Amino acid sequence: VEVVDYERRHLEGIVALCREEGWPSFPEDRLRADRVLRAPGVTSVVAVEGEAVIGFAYLQSDGEIQAHLSNIVVARRHRRTGIGRALLQVGFERAGGRRLDLITDSAHSFYEALDHRRLAGYRLYPPFDEPGRTQP
């Protein structure tokens, strides 16, 4: 298993991993997913075994201080073999920064196994100039 930079040929494998997790954003528009993974300021890394995509992660960073993890997934049959850690390590080295923030409702035990502080997180939805409604 190797961790490499994202290329267009990894897209179908990444979309398949998202579909398995029930995450709609990438499967519903593949061209948008490809743009997102290559967007300015985004670092996208892929775990591959031969030609097979078995995990990916993407993050944003200012390059020096603050990074944010957008998503990480490892194929079910490859979990608990260190690939998740490797994706974070390589992605963060490539992106730069001193710390990595994220929100999660599904992977507490993975993040808690890493050096961390637990803080409250919020996901905000625009517009920001009116009182909010709760969104999914």
Ligand X SMILES: CC(C)(COP(=O)(O)OP(=O)(O)OC[C@H]1O[C@@H](n2cnc3c(N)ncnc32)[C@H](O)[C@@H]1OP(=O)(O)O)[C@@H](O)C(=O)NCCC(=O)NCCS
Q: 């398949």: which residue's tokens?
A: 16
Smallest distance from ligand X to CB 127, Å: 26
Q: Is 59 helix (H, G, I), strand (E, B) or coil?
A: strand
Interface with ligand X by CB under 6 A: which residues? 21, 72-74, 79-85, 104, 106-107, 109-110, 113
Q: How far is the CB of 129 from ligand X (least distance, A)?
A: 29
Query: CA-CA distance, 105 to 90, in Å (whole number)?
Result: 23
User: In this complex, which beta carbon is closest to ligand X, that of residue 80 or of residue 118?
Assistant: 80
Q: What distance in Å separates the CA atoms of residue 51 and residue 128, rounded to the nearest whole number? A: 44
Alpha helices in 22-66 (DSSP H): 30-37
- Considering the complex, state which of residue 25 and residue 104 has its C-beta at the smaller distance from ligand X: 104
Minimum CB distance to ligand X smaller for 3 or for 11: 3
Q: Which residue is nearest to ligand X (CB)?
A: 84
Min. distance of Cβ 17 from ligand X in angstroms? 8
Q: How far is the CB of 55 from ligand X (least distance, A)?
A: 7
Between the CA of residue 79 and those of 5, 21, 35, 89, 120, what are the distances in Å?
A: 20, 13, 27, 16, 27
